[in-house]
Structure 1
């Protein structure tokens, strides 16, 4: 895992790379989704939070349409592009994210100048913690200020979604960027993906004697691949057959009738989304009434649904979840889009080392790559650092 660079070091590195000082430094966090997986693009409910791992960008506006991009990551050289005629699919690797944001802002009528940008990030790549959206949200926060566009958070969310869906080609919803842009310290973001209504829900695990462990399985995933797209297509088919705008409009009480209308695979996909929406609502209610120690069974049920009905887990994620539970976690689930990435385990303080050691040992015995295991806490959303 990389270590985040401080502002002074990043500014100095920018000067060395571009021969001048940046106009500012902005940061945006990755996110953990506490519960509510694949419900966002079904106009449902999600409960993510911004985490204390961030992408930072030092940015300087140019007086032409040239974009020059560089990262602190090893093996990535300078990327140059022109904003004139920028088309979806342009760029490679991480450069697609700032280019996509610039393209999406221009599409919205914002006059985006050329710019120089140096990126640093300690959000683990491919871990399901939304490293790509952290980059996009840092960049869009910077460009929103530097251009004087001053778009509200809701517009920035939609612009980054447009960048992901059209420019990058990943059919994601609005959860990740909503958490990164609208998160707050000590709070989870209860988001209604139909109208972007947000309520901040206190999630202070430590005050309840708990820690939230992230278990990065090191199985990399990509939202731009076929697995994610096929799940979304199944959800859209289910909504069409059931005659609703989105699966958000189907209740748990409707599932029995739906089973007579849908093929077996589509029915399982629909059942996951409908029951997951219900689990999000239950989690929000329990957090308000009883606190984090009460939500373990809902995390467990969410993982079972993703494993069996949505079929987006993998052997490494299942092993991480099962081992964490067997060694003291009160609830655990995979988090993120699936097909790899990370699991989370809500664990009593003092038991985290037991869980960590057991998971590392179980991965070694199975012949899997050693996982990265660390704690996260709810953090502030995107803002200007300097």
Structure 2
């Protein structure tokens, strides 16, 4: 018989529910109408959580999904002895789970494979579930399933927000999509079966180095700025590989073998009328350096060591929303200021495109990585 997908209801801190909106989980305000009761592990709205557990899980057989408890979380209100122990410290950068034969047969894990549980972490700790009362711990501590009266409790430690701007985000997104599907939670997302974006990866951009950091002060990001004498560079490769190798004398330290410091890219482009009727996003596969991006003179996004992590900012996928009404049909100007302090710099990875929707980072339509080496967890594009 057809699966009856239902809404979910949420209780807890608002910031812990942001990923539900991103995944377009159908949310209701009425727990009696919800198929799954989603709660975080904080003490926010604790009385409501206890009531939901007693009235709807234990008595009516519904499922409660508990998000991301840590060693400081008080889980005594849940049945049985449940503990999310102190995070496991790991020196290696890869987290890998091989699904057991029992886990492969568990309907809760339908669609989830060992490859999904094989990704790089740019952190030193991974939170794990240590004890699950009379329930069972799965995926090496990332998931637990616990009986509670007529219903059950699911505890999950895989937090999508921790993977933001990391290449593991696509796999975490896939994991949650499968988990929600297994729990019969309705998702209102719509994935087009064709690409409907404006591909600009092959375009040449105007380029100029900025060793004296004059670009911000003299507003090189403004559409009217005169860039007639700038060089032309391609995206998908570093500026060094295109002849930009002169040393920046303003940088301290030993002599450099290539240009480091601030540099600017500018692109003039027209936007077809059909793209102006919906929200648009500028997508760049990766930028080797910290970047700040303007569209028609207005700031639309930035990525730095602070926002993306010192080990990841240079390979993070950029996805910047263009504010409503900012784009126009003719003579748009995108300006990108890149600060690179060592190694190769520039707009180093495709795709570069204007997208009509906020797309997941790693899908069959928009894969980020291809033909990677054996042993690299990103050699699999699993969407």
TM-score normalised by structure 1 residue count = 0.26
User: In terms of Rg, which structure is larger?
Assistant: 2
TM-score normalised by structure 2 residue count = 0.27
Greater relative contact order (Cα < 8 A, sep 6+): 1
Q: Which structure: greater helix fraction?
A: 1
Q: Which structure: greater strand fraction?
A: 2
